Structure 1
Amino acid sequence: MQILIHIFLAVIWVIVSTSKLKIHPLISLIIASVWVGLGSGMGFIQSLDEFSKGFGSLIGQVGLIIVLGSVFGVLLEKSYAAVAIAHSLWVRFGKKFPSLSTSFMGAVVGVPVFCDSGFILLNPIGKSLAKTSGFSPLTFSLSLAGGLYMSHILIPPTPGPLAVSGIFGMEQNLGLVLLIGLATAIPVILVTAWWAGKFKKKFPESYQEDFEPQEQNLKVKVSVFWSVMVIAIPLIMITIGNLTVFFPNELVRSFFLICGNPLVAIGAGLLVGFMTLKQPISGSSLFSISFTEGIKIAGPILVLTGAGAGFGAVLKLLNLDLIFQEFNFNSDSGAVWLLVCFGLAAFLKTAQGSSTSAMIIAASIALSVIPSGMLENQVYTALCISAIGAGAMTVSHANDSYFWIVKEFTGLTVKEALQSYTMLTALMGVTALLTVLIFYWIL
């Protein structure tokens, strides 16, 4: 019982120190790890050693994948390929299903591009759609923001799911994580579209009918085909890496395993992207800027991911699963542990704002308490990852930078943003959790 109190206080320290005191998460997690280690009788030096081992081990497993994933996102952003895909989807499907098509548009673009960058990039399209359709811009902002947010949290190769997959030892089974994430995303997109559709006639207080939408991004000519292919190639390759069980031939199995390796898959997408996508105005190569900016983006994520793994390494030595059994937790109930995954991530997300941080810390704690035998089932482990993602959606409010981006670019008051966008993220999280639980009972 005493060690649980130390862990709880250490988590509260991480939340307060990062959100209120503005201390870097690396420092906060080192202190939390030493705190928990000392509380368990581990000793100061051993606590630091275990933290360092956990930090280095995970970075070695997923570090390069996260770096290439970040480079991939910069390429799609700087080439305006994301905008080209979004605009093409709207032209083909948007007029019949405005909310649904915009949610889907955000979901597709959100796979390679960070949700905040994606929203800023695609916001001019939303303004244009509001102007031409007569619907409130809030409808398009909510559906776009929700689609981007969902992909950012549920679908690799975005950094959050990648990092959590690494913590759970699923970096070589990303295809399974991807399939579960995509399946979970379907009802989330539908709920997002439904909620956004309720605001078709509810205009923000700041709305002006004679505003001029910023359409400069839409005038850029980019190949939609190659934009789609650059995203599709790595996703398809990662997926087919999980089809080896259907092919007894060893040569075929080896080929599929190579194709499904995340480094190979993302590298293939980058290779095609650098050959086909250029800077849209000058026509110059995006190779240098993609790597330069991608590495800058990946750096903080790598540090946070490694720190979360270091904290988890200390927790692993505490045999928390045995402690939980003493409290009559049903260690055979997979649904209970899925709820634990969701609750941990939701608590951390709501308290400190960052979805990626919430996912990484929640995964580190969950890995130390879920019975190891249950995680031998790869499908169940993938469901745990999606349950953590569901919690990391719940909820986005004033301590989340993305909340402020959606608010400011849509022209909402804080009250309007809380009533519309924050409520949407709560619905998305609960929907994702229910979907994961249904999959657990079915599978």
Structure 2
Amino acid sequence: MSLQQAAFFAVAVLVLALLAQRGRVQPFLALTLTAIGFGYAAGMSTSHVAKAFSLGFAQSLNALGLIVVGAAFMAEIADATGATARLQAGAAGRRRRSLPLAVLGLIASVASAPAAAFAVLDPLRRGIGGDSPRAALVLGLALSAGHGLLVPAPVMLASFTILGADWRLTLAIGLPLALLLAAFGMLSARATSDQPNPVDTAPLIDGDTMHAPRRGALALWAVSLGLIALLITQSLGDIASEPLGGGSNRELLIALGRPVVLLLAGTGALLLLSWHWEPGGLTQAGWAGRAITRVAGLVLLIGAAGGLAKIAQETGMAEMNAERLIAYAPLGALALLLPFALAATVKTLQGSSLVAAITAAGMMMELVAPLGLGDPMGRALTALAIGAGAMGASHINDGFFWLVGQAARLPAGSMIARFSLVTLAQGLLAALLLVALRAITA
């Protein structure tokens, strides 16, 4: 039954991509219908499908929706102060506009979730990357690479903790791999348009408001990096050894990375630092109303993606199909392909990199020694192989996919070709390099 459910899921992804690619159905409606249709095809009852979709929808909005709204507020403020236009003008003509985005993506990848980090950095990305499709893909692929291989990203925290791997050894191997995969992502994104989407600042300079592009640009940099620091602090706080201390102090530090805090802190700090006060800015006609209007569709898409992911999780097909792979475990250095395949299967079928890492690490916990991976190097490589598998493929059941797609202004079909398959290729490349390293060091 699990194989049949996986086949239905693949068909659902294909159907949605075709419908959305040709613009015949509005993306949110297409995704919602796809999720409900898959639930029925997988044998779930109406009440079960409705409950799972609603729960997944609500969880996604709580975890990511508020951050997206906060980022939209920041983007509108940056546009209104002229900060976005100033950053675009400064980046115009540079041959390597993608490099700063790749570096930012790698740094931010150790934050609590790549989707949250992308949302926080998106206002800055629109400036230094010219708001081009290529810039969005470069940032997204760098975040994917680092989140799967760098400590203290949650995926790696879960993997090396469950497997008892040395985090120092894991980081020493994962860092150069992440750099390589980020470079691979930059090369892959070169096939995508780098045509900027300039910001029209003419109506913003109306004489009735303080308009300071340089101050606004500096404020945008400071606030964006500050929010990323809060997300990284949250990741550090989740480490079992409690490096940030315990008790109420730890809870406070973790709380600083919560969505509602990021929304309020980011918006308030950018307003204060840029010192921009637009008359009627908080009204529906002001920057607040424009931001809500701009991201309403994206927020609904993120919720629907969470609904589909929850329905897929409820079927249990991801875990059951992953368990089938254990019987085909290869020997020697090739044994590292098993943890990669376990994580990739779970990630592709249910959408969450963290759940994929936890599930795959739990399955491998008792297998590392029988497969000859029980030594310190073997455990570190196994944890990294799980992280590589948890990278992809990021597709329609992942809010991160829709975030990058909306920023790149690419329909679902194009995103599957230019993002989903590339995240999978990143993971495969990492897995093959880990196998080669094991063969050399064994």
TM-score clears 0.5: yes
Give the superposed CA RMSD: 5.9
Give the match for residue 208 of structure 2.
none
Q: Distance in 1 between matches of 2:188 and 2:325?
A: 38
| 8 Å Cα contact 2:125-2:135 kept in structure 1 | yes
Give the match for residue 135 of structure 2.
144
Name the amino acid aligned to 2:425: V
Per-residue displacement from partner, 1:198-248 (whole Å, max 9, x unpaired)?
Answer: 99xxx99xx9xxxx9967459982612221233223221121123341244
Give the match for residue 261 of structure 1.
258
Give the match for residue 349 of structure 1.
none
Q: Distance in 2 between matches of 1:198 and 1:318?
A: 35
Q: Distance in 2 between matches of 1:380 and 1:278?
A: 50
**Does 2:245 align with 1:225?**
no
Q: Which runs of 5+ in 1 are unaligned?
A: 38-43, 127-140, 157-163, 169-175, 346-357, 394-399, 408-416
Mapping for residues 273-422 of structure 1, pairs under 5 Å:
273-276=270-273, 284-285=281-282, 286-315=287-316, 319-325=320-326, 327-329=327-329, 335-342=337-344, 361=351, 370=360, 372-373=362-363, 387-392=389-394, 405=409
Cα distance change, pair 391–31 in 1 and its aligned pair in 2 (3 A): closer
Per-residue displacement from partner, 1:75-113 (whole Å, max 9, x unpaired)?
Answer: 233233698369549849985855534755898998237
The normalised TM-score by structure 2 is 0.57
TM-superposed CA distance for 1:7, in Å, is 1.9
TM-superposed CA distance for 1:310, in Å, is 1.4
Mapping for residues 163-202 of structure 1, pairs under 5 Å:
186-193=179-186
TM-superposed CA distance for 1:260, in Å, is 3.6
Give the match for residue 61 of structure 2.
63
TM-superposed CA distance for 1:313, in Å, is 0.6
| 8 Å Cα contact 1:147-1:192 kept in structure 2 | yes
TM-superposed CA distance for 1:311, in Å, is 2.2
Cα distance change, pair 66–183 in 1 and its aligned pair in 2 (3 A): farther
TM-superposed CA distance for 1:257, in Å, is 2.6
Q: Distance in 2 between matches of 1:372 and 1:256?
A: 28
Question: Which structure is higher in RCO with an 8 Å CA cutoff and minimum separation 6?
Answer: 2
Give the match for residue 243 of structure 1.
236
The normalised TM-score by structure 1 is 0.57
Per-residue displacement from partner, 1:342-397 (whole Å, max 9, x unpaired)?
Answer: 4787xxxxxxxxxxxx78558699689847455999x989985764444338xxxx
Give the match for residue 31 of structure 1.
37
Q: Distance in 1 between matches of 2:271 and 2:118?
A: 18
TM-superposed CA distance for 1:302, in Å, is 0.3
Per-residue displacement from partner, 1:152-205 (whole Å, max 9, x unpaired)?
Answer: 76689xxxxxxx99xx9xxxxxxx9xx999997643443455678899xxx99x
Q: Which runs of 5+ in 2 are unaligned?
A: 20-24, 109-115, 148-154, 160-166, 206-211, 367-378, 396-403
| 8 Å Cα contact 2:83-2:217 kept in structure 1 | yes
**Number of aligned residue pairs:** 360
Could you say what secondary structure the match of 1:391 adopts? coil
Q: Distance in 2 between matches of 1:92 and 1:122?
A: 6
Q: Distance in 2 between matches of 1:381 and 1:55?
A: 32
Q: Percent identity?
A: 12
